[in-house]
Amino acid sequence: MTESECDLTEHLTLNDRAYTVDIQTEPDLVDYDEDLENYPHTYSDPFNPYKESKISAVDITVEAVDENRVRVNITDPLTGIHQRGKQLSIRDVLNNDLKYKISYNKPGSTGKRDIISDSNMAEVSKLDAGESYCFMAAAFIPSRPKGSQLGAWSQQLCTPQEDSILHELYPGTWVGIIFILLTVFFIIVMVIVLCCRCCRQRNSTQSSTPV
């Protein structure tokens, strides 16, 4: 090779093992009488692709199941490893070691919650009805060293907020509405009571009038 980097992916296996590369320089014109061991060479640091490879961002979709639940669907990223003519995904390589971390919050809120899913589909429940929520996901491999457990985060996707006047009212507005309703109810009760008293007085007056 004549480049400063090369792709050795096709030489990797699915095993959890470390690799070391022996990098050796050679002249452009090889003299077979020379001992190539005399040319400079170096060994790379050991590298375990199973535990140290960086995981790219995943693609996600979100859909509402009902007013309190949202389903997050995740697409496994592809690796550079091929087997029997098939390009393998990280699920094919990591199997049960692969999990997904899903982070979600309301738009504009700094309070985030995380859940861990064993599969490509997860349902997030106990959400506030009518509220919008934003979701992100990343590959999570808890069997790895802590610094390489988490892959790159996906693009953030948000669910739409329901267009309802009731959800847009401020707490002070609700207090005002309740006060008005109680006032109207009190007035109606007072009117009914006064009408009943007037009817009783009229009936009493009529019954006491001499024939």
pLDDT digits (tens, 9 = 90+) for 49-84: 888 888 999 999 999 999 899 999 999 999 888 888
| CATH label of the domain that carries residue 61 | 2.60.40.10
**Residue 180 falls inside a structural domain:** yes
149 with 184, same domain: the answer is no
Instruction: For residue 101, give the amino acid letter.
Output: K
157 and 100 in one domain?
Answer: yes
144 and 80 co-located in one domain: yes
Helix, strand, or coil (residue 154): coil
Confidence (pLDDT) at 118: 94
Q: Name the domain count of the chain.
A: 3
Give the Cα separation of 137 and 155 in Å (integer): 8
- Asked if residue 135 is part of any domain, the answer here is yes
Give a yes or no: residue 73 inside a domain. Answer: yes
Q: What is the pLDDT of residue 49?
A: 80
Same domain assignment for residues 7 and 38: yes
| 183 sits in which H/E element | helix 171-208
The side-by-side arrangement of strands in the sheet containing 69-75 is 59-66, 69-75, 121-124
Residue ranges of E strands in 99-151: 99-105, 113-117, 121-124, 134-140
Q: Model pTM greater than 0.85?
A: no
**If you count DSSP H runs as helices and E runs as strands, how many of each does the chain have, helices first?**
4, 11
211 part of a folded domain: no
Q: Are residues 179 and 125 in the same domain?
A: no
Co-location of 45 and 58 in the same domain:
no
In 3D space, the residue among 81, 78, 77, 75 whose CA is nearest the CA of residue 15 turns out to be: 81
Q: Residue 158 has what pLDDT? A: 92
Range of the domain at 152: 54-161
Do 46 and 78 lie in a common domain? Answer: no
